[in-house]
Structure 1
Amino acid sequence: MATTAKHLDLPGGDGARSVRISSPDREMWPGITKWDLARYLAAVADGFLRAVGDRPVTLQRFPQGTDGEEFFSKNPPKGAPEWARTVICTYPSGRQHPQLVIDEIATAVWAVQMNTVTFHPWPVRTANADNPDEIRIDLDPQPGRSFADVVTAAFALRDLMTELGLTPWVKTSGNRGLHVYARVTPDHEFLEVRHGVIGIARELERRLPELVTTAWWKEERGEKIFVDFNQANRDRTIAAAYSPRPLPGAPVSMPVRWEELSEVSTADFTVLTVPGLLEDHGDAWAGIDDAVGTFESALGLWDTDVGNGLGEMPFPPEYPKMPGEPPRVQPSRKKMEG
């Protein structure tokens, strides 16, 4: 027998919203239901909206829970409520179509009704969907590296970004890594921002050559922490702050304070624990909107590297061939063919 639907009453732009959750007892993770997920988002609304508000969002959906099949919704799901808006986004192919914008928590809870688990916002605002207003640097540990190693890299990245006039903010990825963000004025389009991120990544690699790598091909990374510069590309997104992840235990990508980073464990932050932690300690990213820097110094790193003979890096496989890009051939395969 089908489970009776429930309604969650939430604040809205022009009054209260009542969002219907069908199959509320469906397990999205073992022991954690769709209703639990909806209530979680309502409980972390302020911090979550600070991260995703006024941005195009891609939805990662799991119709049968996180143990089942998944798919990504870039087009807004059918039946979106009248209060939900969209914005047109341009993709690497040049194709355009609308994406959902989450301006209020009721829209996010409706996305849970559509079996969304993870929210992937673009690094742009709707007023200018071509120029990022934040940079996101993904520190991805390769096998053999610990979370403590990632923390070491993150502190070095914090120092570098601060030297460049940026204010860095850190969050757990919800998995094994860390994400470091900085808000910037939207003065540069995606390709320029990517170049600045590559400049930062290369400088971090120079400072920590035994720990950090910018090698795009996995076979060249070894047991290091990969700085994923390609997350700065158009249509490449990272799980939002406070977004759940479809992994065992229902982990959350959690903002943390730098002074607490050495003491945290990613297992501390789940759909069940984060609302209480947020209530007790507040949002570690509460001041992010007031800390906007410029990207010129980071672009200066790129320019210096280009002057020293370092050029473009590989793009993701779904991208068209880009100007100056090296061949997209695995190094081992290139050797065999040579």
Structure 2
Amino acid sequence: MSTLDRYREKRDFSVTPEPRAELVEAGGDRLSFVVQKHDARRLHFDFRLEWDGVLLSWAVTRGPSADPSEKRLAVRTEDHPVAYGDFEGTIPEGEYGGGTVMLWDSGWWEPLHDPAQGLKEGKLHFRLHGARMKGGWVLVRMRARKGEKRDNWLLIKERDDFAGRSADALINRHRTSVSTGRAMRAIAADKPAADPADHGKPRPRFHKVQLATLKNAPPGGEGWQHEAKFDGYRCLIALGKGGARLYTRNGKDWTDRFGALCASVTALPCDAALIDSEVIAGGGGGDFSSLQKALKSGGPLTCYAFDLLHLDGKDLTLQPLSDRRAALERLFSGLPPRGPLRLSPVIEGEGAAALDAICQAGGEGLISKRRDAHYRSGRSSDWIKSKCIRRAEFFIAGRAPSDKRGRPFASLLLGSHEAGRLVYRGRVGTGFDADDFAELNAALDSITRKTPPFDGDLPPEADGAQWVTPKLVAEVEYTEFTAEGRIRHGVYKGLRQDKEASNVSAKAEAEIDSDATIGGVKVSSSDRVVFPDAGLTKGDVARYYEVVADRMLTHVADRPLSLLRCPDGISGDCFFQKHAGKGFPDGIRSIPIEEKDGGTEDYMYVSTPGGLIGAAQMSTIEFHIWGAARDRLDRPDRMVFDLDPDEGLDFADVKRAAGEVRAALDACGLASVPMVTGGKGVHVIVPLRRISEWDSVTYFSRVLATIFATRDPARYTATMSKAKRKGRIFIDWLRNERGATAVAPYSLRARGGAAVALPLTWDELGDLERPDTFHPADVEARLDRPCPLDQVEPRGIGKGAVRALEDLSKS
């Protein structure tokens, strides 16, 4: 038995305009509430809370009161469908509940305990976030009198910032619909929505919209806000004196086409606004084809708002996104969660995990936005889009004739504008229904031409085509771009009437679609240039790590590590990441590690070539490793002294310093190996036996560095301070603390020449003229020689080493 059976039994849906009885699934993390002013046999207010797929309903005889001393009778009635929350109109006389219904308030409610338990025990405590009813409220069931059949409750306002002191001020102050602005008489007379000229400030002008840059993966790191990519039309909403105007991304006024949204827009509680949004079909889940049909038939539309450019005369475009979003949420706070006008949900967590979740759910993709960025017209890297489905816009250049009866053409020939040229992009022959054929054939007949619009030679598949002037834009789904830059297995999705053919480019999609399999790992966008100066691509980086994997894993495998990721190449923004996210390749594994504050975090490690290549697929350039392996994290097996010279010192100064550190370590019985880091410094690495804990290794390295700084303060410093480093070499001993990392041997560096961090012999270091000499090809040529780090015997920091260190400090 359904909880909506009583609702269904009381109504004749062939007569009443009320929605049919349908249970719905949860619509997100916000539960809707609605209050409807109902002029039936007796005027009352219907108070409804969404729960378990329906609207729990109470008839409040005298209406809600914001005065906490007022206890308003609320009679429990039958559950209503969630769709009833949008209903406003007149129920015919003679029908159950006959009379006028006004949508008096709507928003979302926040249960303060388990609602199921509260219904059972007779007390519901909650907060309301509506346009009119706000703050804490409670519903309390009254004890039934003998023979009484009604389920009577009391609706009571809590004492908080939203409480009032007048019993009926709330219902007397608000006498019009929260949705259409109409009074009860206007609703009964079926008059249109109230005059939108009530908005008191001038309507903002159209503003060129911000566009996202297509990337193969979302950006990582903090500072980004992620939202679902919708499959619809971009819409810029302008509201103010004179009402609402709804524009396409190119500034076309589509207020008439998006007319179903105007009532909700004009009901927004502001004097003026400029809102960036996306319009899609139906109740929030329609695709682009459904949207095309909805626009033609006048079907329902849903608008997801995601940015606020102006509010009540104030320009917000120079404010960071985080502030604009907060203002938009305040403006939309009273709207029903499932209404035609909604907030675009923000997806929490790391971008890769968010994209993975959307793709698994069959979504379109992800839009990632910098939280600290201003709103900028045009395309920028502040907004990044990454797609689940490969889809792009192309202009229609012609049609291939069909030999099948009833089919006016076999396929459409497609193109795009690239750097002033018109480029052939292949054809699409599926996805058309009868209406599509009729619409396209009529439109193409009016723009025919004799010659192809393309520059250059065309493939044989274009022979015999009927050419047209490139004015129409088609949206097409496809499996991939071929090496020639043409789509494969295209499926027609519809015409884009909001975009000009002269602006259509598929360059980004074609570049993204350059995948390669390297070492058994799929590497996307393998031909994207990562090192512009060196001309190395993402695929080159992955192939380098495939080649050096066996050598590199000797020093990297099974250690907690940090990855330096550069999704846009080294000329873009790079960031460190030490915790793996969802969507990372299987070769990147995680290990729980207890941190200083007592909490536990999952750190990354790799143990196979696939792990190194998988990290390169995630746009990793550099690997930085702990000084201990995961099987004994408390016992480091290496000690590192990073010799970091101040600007102005040359490499000869660094080599001399490395030699002096080596001599001091030799005096303590510890063998060492130099490693050029690919930058201006040198690491002196000491392989250790695992007999000492972190405190001992940290103490030893700090004392040794301090000895040098004390003995020769004009040349050395053991302090990180930039001011104290002037003209000196900083002996960085901090790499030897638990949790600290140092660049891994054989790691690439994210610097102009694509240099590599490479271990050397001491003789090789002496002969070296520059620290950034070695590049991927040089390293590959050395792999038939032993690694210098494997040629020294690890030793422990025992009593003898400590005594020798004490002697050094006294000398």
TM-score of the pair, normalised by structure 2: 0.35
What letter matches 1:104 in structure 2? T
Supply the distance in 2 between the matched residues of 1:301 and 1:97 (Cα, whole angstroms). 38
How many angstroms does 1:54 deviate by?
1.8
Q: 1:117 to 1:82 in 2, by over 3 A?
A: closer
Q: Aligned-pair distance for 1:104?
A: 1.3
Relative to its length, the structure with more helix (as a share) is 1
Match of 2:628 among 110, 114, 124: 124
Match of 1:277 among 775, 779, 782: 782
What's 1:336 paired with? none
Tell me, which stretches of 5 or more residues in structure 1 are unaligned?
10-17, 309-338
Deviations 1:150-199 (A, max 9, x none): 10010111111111111101101111000011121223332332111012
The residue that corresponds to 1:321 in the other structure is none
Deviation at 1:38, TM superposition (A): 0.8
Q: How far 1:233 sits from its partner (Å)?
A: 1.6
| 1:98 equivalent in alignment to 2:605 | no
- Secondary structure, counterpart of 1:179 in structure 2: strand
Aligned partner of 2:522 in structure 1 is: 20
Matches of 1:246 and 1:48, distance apart in 2: 17
Shift of 1:266: 2.2
Aligned-pair distance for 1:131? Answer: 2.4
Give, in whole Å, the separation in 1 of the partners of 2:696 and 2:600. 21
Q: Which amino acid aligns with 1:166?
A: L
* Partner SS for 1:41: helix
* Greater CA drift, 216-225 or 74-83: 74-83
Which residue does the alignment assign to 1:149?
653
Larger relative contact order (CA 8 Å, sep ≥ 6): 1
Residue correspondence of structure 1 range 182-331 to structure 2 within 5 A: 182-206=686-710, 208-264=712-768, 265-279=770-784, 281-288=785-792, 291-296=793-798, 297-300=800-803
Q: What CA deviation, in whole Å up to 9, does each residue of 1:209-260 have, x standing for no partner? A: 4422213322123311110121212222111001011111111111111111
Q: Name 1:29's counterpart in structure 2.
A: 531
1:77 — aligned with what? 581
Aligned residue for 2:77?
Answer: none
- Name the CA shift for 1:273/1:187 in 2 (closer, same or farther; >3 Å): same
Percent identity of paired positions between Structure 1 and Structure 2: 30
Give the aligned CA root-mean-square deviation in angstroms: 2.2
Any idea what SS the aligned residue of 1:87 has? strand
Read off the aligned partner of 1:283 and give its amino acid letter.
Answer: C
The verdict on how the C-alpha distance between 1:299 and 1:263 changes in structure 2, with shifts beyond 3 A counting, is: same
Does residue 58 in structure 1 map to residue 568 in structure 2?
no
**Number of residue pairs the alignment of both structures matches:** 296
1:200, 1:301 within 8 Å by CA — same for their partners in 2? Answer: no
Mapped partners of 1:305, 1:292: distance in 2: 21
Which of 653, 658, 667 in structure 2 is aligned with 1:163? 667
Q: Distance in 2 between matches of 1:158 and 1:275?
A: 27
CA distance in 2, matches of 1:47, 1:96: 31
CA positional deviation for 1:90? 3.0
Aligned mates of 1:51, 1:97 — CA distance in 2: 23
2:517 aligned residue (1, 4, 7): 7
Larger strand percent = 2
Question: Could you tell me how far 1:8 is from its partner in structure 2?
Answer: 1.4
1:110 and 2:620 equivalent? no
d(CA) in 2 for partners of 1:99, 1:145: 37
Helix, strand or coil at the partner of 2:679: coil
Q: Secondary structure at the match of 1:108?
A: helix
Which residue of the partner structure matches residue 381 of structure 2? none
Contact 2:587 2:608 in 1 (8 A): no
Secondary structure, counterpart of 1:143 in structure 2: coil
- Which structure would you say has the larger Rg? 2
Segment drifting more, 252-261 vs 270-279: 270-279
Whether the aligned pair in 2 keeps the contact of 1:197 and 1:298 (CA below 8 Å) is no
Tell whether the 8 Å contact from 2:587 to 2:610 is kept in structure 1 after alignment. no
